[in-house]
Chain A
Amino acid sequence: MKNNKKTSPWKSIKVGLLSLLAMIIFAYGFQITKVDLEELRSENRQQSLVRVTRALAQPEIFEYEQVEEIVNYPIYVPCLSDGSQASASERSASEPYIVITPACANPGEIIQVEGFNFAPLTVGPIRFIPGNDPSNVVSLGRVNAETDSDGHFIVDMEIPDRTSDDAQFIRATLRRNIGAPRFSKTAYDTWNKIVETVFLALLATVFGTFLAIPLSFIAARNLMKTVKSPLTSISLSVLGWPLGILLGFVAVRGVGNFSAAIGSNVLVNLAGIIVSPALAWVGLRWALPQEEITRPSQNMRFARLGVILLVVLVSFYGLFQLANLAMSIGQTLEAVLGSFSFLGYFLFQVGDIVAIITPALGGLAAGGALSSILGRLGQIGSEKLPGSTIKTLNLILTTMAGVTVMGLLGRLVEWLYEIGEPMYTLWGPVAVGAIAGLLLATLTKPKESLPIGMVIYSITRTFLNALRSVEALVMAIVFVIAVGIGPFAGVMALGLHTIVSLAKLYSEQVESILSGPLEAIEATGANRLQTIIYAVIPQIVPPYISYTMYRWDINVRMSTIIGFVGGGGIGFLLQQNINLLNYRAASAQMLAIAIVVASMDYISSVLREKAI
């Protein structure tokens, strides 16, 4: 390539100045981050570095059965004024014994401890036992002794600063390994915690993925761009949500109470579980014919709506019965399964969770259903009714919707901050909502289609971006405060972070799908839901799987350290051991983390390749 540009002196000066600036920035960075090699060279640091490194190199995974030989020998500190010496109890010649020279000493003096008749090649500490009780477990000072092949050792020891009129003791504890190595307690703890860690990551990934998928559709521009509705329909849908949630929650809780009243007899539960899905299936087959060429009559459609409502109630009844059965079976199993009692525990917990979230689920389902039915009514209304009627209707409905939304937001603020001032948290927002609704209804043409899809898209995107910028560790701290220390907080934090980051990644995939198949499916008369199922989903399955695996990978890594802030998993153990200077145990945990992360990395890369 030819370089036609002349090099001007200005350019060189600019380059020089830039390098200087870069150097200054770099130097400042050094100072800020306290790069200090002097510190590394200091003797203290070096020693502890060596100690830690050695400990880390010997992870505490195996241990041996040990036999100990313990010998106590009395000593006066300081020496008695009458010169008498403490004497040891009688012993036979073959027993191990120690000799101390001199036989008494002052604090700070060095004594020599010599041992005889110990088992050969054993190691252990020589310690000073304060007080007059040789069985005292408190000890001061420590030197390590090691016997030769004759069972003999000599070590020097400094007498600690602890004086007494009574005889105190020098204790030699020599230990030797016998038998085959076995897993240490640390190894067992580490195993338990690493399992917890992996499952923490698994749960977070599964929950996160399930919630991220629907979110990713409403955060995809290409799908939402074409969603347009007239104002009547939008207001009615907005009103439908809270109303539906309320009705659904009450109805499903009613079903729950009915289910509870029937009792938790296993046979009754079983019957409920078998009969209700069968009933629901029959009802659905009747109410939702697979194909229909002509429009059904009005009465027929009402009858179907009624049947579907019944089907939903019956299904929820089945769900409650299932939860009940799971809880009672779980309880029984937990009592009889012994080491597999976790299966029973799991079943019980699942039942409990289902029983708790079912009313909420019912509320959400009813909210969605009512909102879409009302929205549909609004759509039909604004197609069929004259413009002036729609205008009036819009004025009323939009004002009501504005009041509802702002009122609820106000209640939320009140609940969060406990302001206790209805002017700010109730009447104010309600007035603002009413005015906004009125304005919107006045300013728009009555039958105009508004780009509600883009509004929802923008809100969702903003929300996702805001939450995504909060680190999972920070979320974990918040959840630890909310639900207490333990893996549950970790699951919530990682799960939430998974939802928002996957929703973003997924929605980018949705935005990059081919539009041709979408167009073709739409042209067949498919509705929006069908278009998503037949044209969008087949195109996004491979990248979704790939991103989910990638996220699972990240979650495993995150779950190993989320314990540092109390989020459960192995991090908690690791942090504890580091704080206790128990580096050999910490080393075992680090090793476990490395193994798990590396194998997850491998598995996920293999699975990703398979999926694409």
Chain B
Amino acid sequence: MLQIKNLTKIYDGGVKALDNVSFEVPDGQFLAVIGLSGSGKSTLLRCINRLIEPTAGQILWNGEDITAASQEEMRRIRRKIGMVFQHFNLVHRSKVITNVLAGRLGYVNPAWSLLNRFPKEDVEKAIKQLQRVGIAEKAYQRADELSGGQQQRVGIARALMQDPKMVLADEPVASLDPVLAHSIMSHLEDINKNDGVSVLCSLHFLDLVHRYADRVVALNEGRLVFEGLPKDIDDNKFKEIYGRDAERVG
């Protein structure tokens, strides 16, 4: 169980990106995070693995306080939290397999990383993850030779390498065309349903939310404005989340 308690983030410039946000995510849930761009979705997800330091509040994961963890403890926590990004964030000039193996960095001894060595089991495992997302034949190509959809699958394989208990996906399909979106989302669904991994996924399109999410939280200017089931988002709620002028399509 992930518990977010009164989380607030104020950036150096004074922007209040998160304002006293509290909610809970039971293990194994697929949670969608929605909101306009600039509403604080990315900030929220990055606070959970402390890529961004929260200004105030608490994040408890299975009782452990992530916000109070030391550097050493953070390394151990992070390796159990996979992350998937809107712009994939692969290392372009490295091979696909190296990008996937990077998911093991939280486990391998840093001294061996100096020599760029991974245990043999890890390499085998990396190939397996690539097979799972359907691009094993690309393993030894350079990452930037792949199309967007393929790159995002590498991103998912990298997250899978971590043996994650939770995956944070920050608009994983926003830079892909709609046809590919479903293929990427179904990989996340597969991880969620079959491996029992919690997924926190920020999304733009409500139809994807309806199709994949168990539950939804909505942010507006850093405040939590909705928390509930996807089907509970009626027209009123919709306008509250997306603003008075928003039109509901589809």
Residues on A lying within 8 angstroms of B by beta carbon are 284, 288-293, 379-380, 383, 514, 516-517, 519-527, 529-530, 533-535, 538-539, 541-542
Q: Which of A517, A523, A527, A529 has the most CB of B within 10 A?
A: A523
Q: Is the CB of B102 within 8 A of A534?
A: yes
Q: Is the CB of B113 within 8 A of A529?
A: yes
A293-B107, A541-B93 as given contacts; A533 in contact with B76, CB under 8 Å? no
> Given the complex, which residues of A lie within 8 Å of B113, measured CB to CB?
526, 529-530, 533-534
Q: Is the CB of A523 within 8 A of B94?
A: no
Taking the closest CB of chain A, its distance from the CB of B102, in whole angstroms, is 5
- Segment among B21-29, B114-122, B231-239 that sits at the interface with chain A: B114-122
> Complex Cα distance A284/B111, Å?
10
> Across the two chains, which residue of chain A brings its CB closest to B168?
A523
> Given the complex, which residues of A lie within 8 Å of B87, measured CB to CB?
516
- Segment among B78-86, B128-136, B217-225 that sits at the interface with chain A: B78-86
> Given the complex, which residues of B lie within 8 Å of A520, measured CB to CB?
83, 85, 89-90, 102, 155, 158
> Complex Cα distance A534/B79, Å?
16
Q: Which of B90, B113, B155 has the most CB of A within 10 A?
A: B113
* Given A380-B72, A516-B89, A525-B76, 8 new contacts (CB under 8 A): A290-B118, A379-B70, A516-B87, A519-B89, A520-B158, A524-B162, A525-B105, A538-B93
> Given the complex, which residues of B lie within 8 Å of A533, measured CB to CB?
113-114, 116
B49 at the interface (CB under 8 A from A): yes
Q: Is the CB of B110 within 8 A of A291?
A: no
> Across the two chains, which residue of chain B brings its CB closest to A528?
B110
Q: Is the CB of B91 within 8 A of A517?
A: yes
> Complex Cα distance A521/B75, Å?
11
Q: Is the CB of A525 within 8 A of B162?
A: yes
Q: Is the CB of A527 within 8 A of B75?
A: yes
> Given the complex, which residues of A lie within 8 Å of B88, measured CB to CB?
516
> Across the two chains, which residue of chain B brings its CB closest to A287?
B111
B104 at the interface (CB under 8 A from A): yes
Contact-size category for B: 35 or more
Closest CB pairs A-B (n = 10): A525-B106, A525-B79, A526-B105, A516-B89, A520-B89, A525-B78, A523-B83, A517-B91, A290-B119, A538-B93
Residues on B lying within 8 angstroms of A by beta carbon are 49, 51, 70-72, 74-79, 81-83, 85, 87-94, 98, 102-114, 116-119, 122, 155, 158, 161-162
> Complex Cα distance A259/B89, Å?
51
> Complex Cα distance A288/B115, Å?
13
> Given the complex, which residues of A lie within 8 Å of B70, measured CB to CB?
379-380, 383
Taking the closest CB of chain B, its distance from the CB of A595, in whole angstroms, is 36
Q: Is the CB of A530 within 8 A of B162?
A: no
Q: Is the CB of B91 within 8 A of A290?
A: no
Taking the closest CB of chain A, its distance from the CB of B178, in whole angstroms, is 23
Which of B51, B98, B105 touches A530 (beta carbons < 8 Å)? B105
Q: Is the CB of B85 within 8 A of A519?
A: yes
Taking the closest CB of chain A, its distance from the CB of B158, in whole angstroms, is 7
> Given the complex, which residues of B lie within 8 Å of A538, measured CB to CB?
91-94
> Across the two chains, which residue of chain A brings its CB closest to B90?
A517
Q: Is the CB of A291 within 8 A of B89?
A: no
Taking the closest CB of chain A, its distance from the CB of B77, in whole angstroms, is 8
Q: Is the CB of B106 within 8 A of A526?
A: yes
> Complex Cα distance A541/B142, Å?
15
> Given the complex, which residues of A lie within 8 Å of B119, measured CB to CB?
290-291
> Complex Cα distance A85/B85, Å?
110
Which of B104, B110, B118 touches A529 (beta carbons < 8 Å)? B110
> Given the complex, which residues of A lie within 8 Å of B107, measured CB to CB?
291-293, 525
Enumerate 16 A-B pairs (CB-CB under 8 Å) in ascending A order.
A289-B109, A290-B119, A379-B71, A520-B89, A520-B155, A522-B51, A523-B83, A524-B79, A524-B161, A525-B162, A526-B105, A529-B113, A533-B114, A533-B116, A534-B113, A538-B93
Taking the closest CB of chain A, its distance from the CB of B122, in whole angstroms, is 7
Taking the closest CB of chain B, its distance from the CB of A519, in whole angstroms, is 6
> Complex Cα distance A529/B115, Å?
12
> Complex Cα distance A117/B94, Å?
82
Taking the closest CB of chain B, its distance from the CB of A114, in whole angstroms, is 82
> Complex Cα distance A541/B91, Å?
12
Which of B94, B111, B116 touches A288 (beta carbons < 8 Å)? B111
> Given the complex, which residues of A lie within 8 Å of B98, measured CB to CB?
534
> Across the two chains, which residue of chain B brings its CB closest to A229?
B71
Q: Is the CB of A290 within 8 A of B112?
A: yes
> Across the two chains, which residue of chain B brings its CB closest to A449?
B53
Q: Is the CB of A523 within 8 A of B49?
A: yes
Q: Is the CB of A292 within 8 A of B109?
A: yes
> Across the two chains, which residue of chain A brings its CB closest to B75?
A525
Q: Is the CB of A539 within 8 A of B91?
A: yes
A524-B79, A524-B162 as given contacts; A290 in contact with B108, CB under 8 Å? yes
> Across the two chains, which residue of chain B brings its CB closest to A289?
B109
> Given the complex, which residues of A lie within 8 Å of B103, measured CB to CB?
524
> Given the complex, which residues of A lie within 8 Å of B114, measured CB to CB?
529, 533
Q: Which of A290, A533, A534 has the most CB of B within 10 A?
A: A290
> Across the two chains, which residue of chain A brings its CB closest to B116?
A533
> Complex Cα distance A539/B75, Å?
23
Q: Is the CB of A290 within 8 A of B109?
A: yes
Taking the closest CB of chain A, its distance from the CB of B151, in whole angstroms, is 11
A519-B85, A530-B105 as given contacts; A535 in contact with B116, CB under 8 Å? no
